[in-house]
C-alpha cells in the first residue's frame, strides 16, 4: 500500500478541491482549454527540471513510495501527476476565492 501513497495524496487533493468547481463556481474544469494552457507549459518546464536533476543525481524517488512506473529520463509517474494536479488545485482555489470576492463587491455596491 505504501507504493500508492503519493498517488493517493494527489487523488485526495483533487477530491478536496473538486467541490469548488460546483459550489463556488470556480469554472476550471468547464474551461478545459484554458486550464490546459495554464497547466501544461508549467508542468513541462518542471518535468524537464526534474529530469535534469534526476540525471545529475541531485535527487531520487523512493521505490517504496512510488509505483515503479517511470517515464524516460527516470521521472516517476507520481511526479508527473504532481505537476498536473497541484496547479489544477491551485487554479480551483484561486477561481473560487475570486468568485467569493466578486460576490462581496457586488453586494457592497448594491448596498451603497
Mean pLDDT computed over 42-67: 94
Q: How confident is the model at residue 110 (pLDDT cuts 50, 70, 90)?
A: low
Q: Please check whether residue 53 is in contact with residue 59, taking contact to mean a CB–CB distance below 8 angstroms.
A: yes
The Cα–Cα gap between 98 and 85 comes to: 20
Is this prediction's pTM over 0.75?
A: yes
DSSP 76: B
* Cell output for 10: 494527489
Q: How confident is the model at residue 108 (pLDDT cuts 50, 70, 90)?
A: low
Average pLDDT score over the chain? 91
Residues in the chain: 112
Cα–Cα nearest to 43, from 7, 4, 75: 75
Amino acid at each position: 500500500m505504501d507504493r500508492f501513497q503519493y498517488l493517493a495524496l494527489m487523488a485526495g487533493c483533487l477530491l478536496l478541491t473538486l467541490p469548488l468547481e460546483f459550489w463556488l463556481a470556480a469554472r476550471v474544469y468547464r474551461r478545459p482549454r484554458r486550464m490546459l494552457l495554464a497547466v501544461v507549459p508549467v508542468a513541462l518546464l518542471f518535468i524537464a527540471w526534474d529530469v535534469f536533476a534526476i540525471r545529475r543525481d541531485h535527487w531520487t524517488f523512493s521505490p517504496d513510495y512510488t509505483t515503479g512506473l517511470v517515464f524516460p529520463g527516470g521521472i516517476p509517474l507520481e511526479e508527473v501527476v504532481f505537476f498536473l494536479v497541484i496547479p489544477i488545485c491551485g487554479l480551483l482555489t484561486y477561481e473560487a476565492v475570486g468568485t467569493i470576492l466578486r460576490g462581496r463587491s457586488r453586494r457592497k455596491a448594491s448596498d451603497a
